[in-house]
Amino acid sequence: MSMDPLLWHKVAAISGVAALGLGTYGAHVFKPQNPAYKDVWHTASLYHLVHTAALVAAPITKHPNVFGGLLTAGILAFSGTCYTVAFLEDRKYSTLAPFGGFAFIAAWGKSNEEYPPTVPSIIEMFAITFILKFSC
């Protein structure tokens, strides 16, 4: 039984609501005793929102369920871990973050397989835009 690729739009919608809510909380309410954890929360928010936006493109990739699944796993493992570390102000909860990072890397690597082959990958265009925006 295969999963409907358009399900990833629903996953992206739920993740987007969560990303915006958590980002807003982090920007306006979250006041950690150690200000370094504010940066950890910000990193979690940024990666959560960026990879949620990429989830919208999952149905047009060659392997939507692999791409969407890896992004979702990355959001949960990386951003979820960073949110937890920041909220509890304790780095001992950071164990899963590297696995989330590897899931993100694997997802972006999988996006390199263009579909359809004659059209530039929307994922690659998104990645290039993101890199240019945040590298300056």
Range of the domain at 88: 7-135
Note whether residue 89 is domain-resident.
yes
Note whether residue 2 is domain-resident.
no
pLDDT of the residue at 116: 52
pLDDT digit string (tens) for 12-64? 999 999 999 999 999 999 999 999 999 999 999 999 999 999 999 999 888 89
- The span from the CA of 106 to the CA of 108, in Å, is 6
pLDDT digit string (tens) for 66-104? 999 999 999 999 999 999 999 999 999 999 999 999 999
What single-letter DSSP state applies at residue 95? T
130 pLDDT above the threshold of 60: no
Note whether residue 124 is domain-resident.
yes
pLDDT of the residue at 8: 94
Q: Which of residues 135 and 67 earns the better pLDDT score? A: 67
Q: Which residues lie closer than 8 Å to 135 by C-beta, 6 or more apart?
A: none
Structure token digits, residue 116: 């359809």
Note whether residue 103 is domain-resident.
yes
For tokens 């999988």, the residue is 110
Q: Are 18 and 55 in contact (CB under 8 A)?
A: no
* Number of domains observed in the structure of the chain: 1
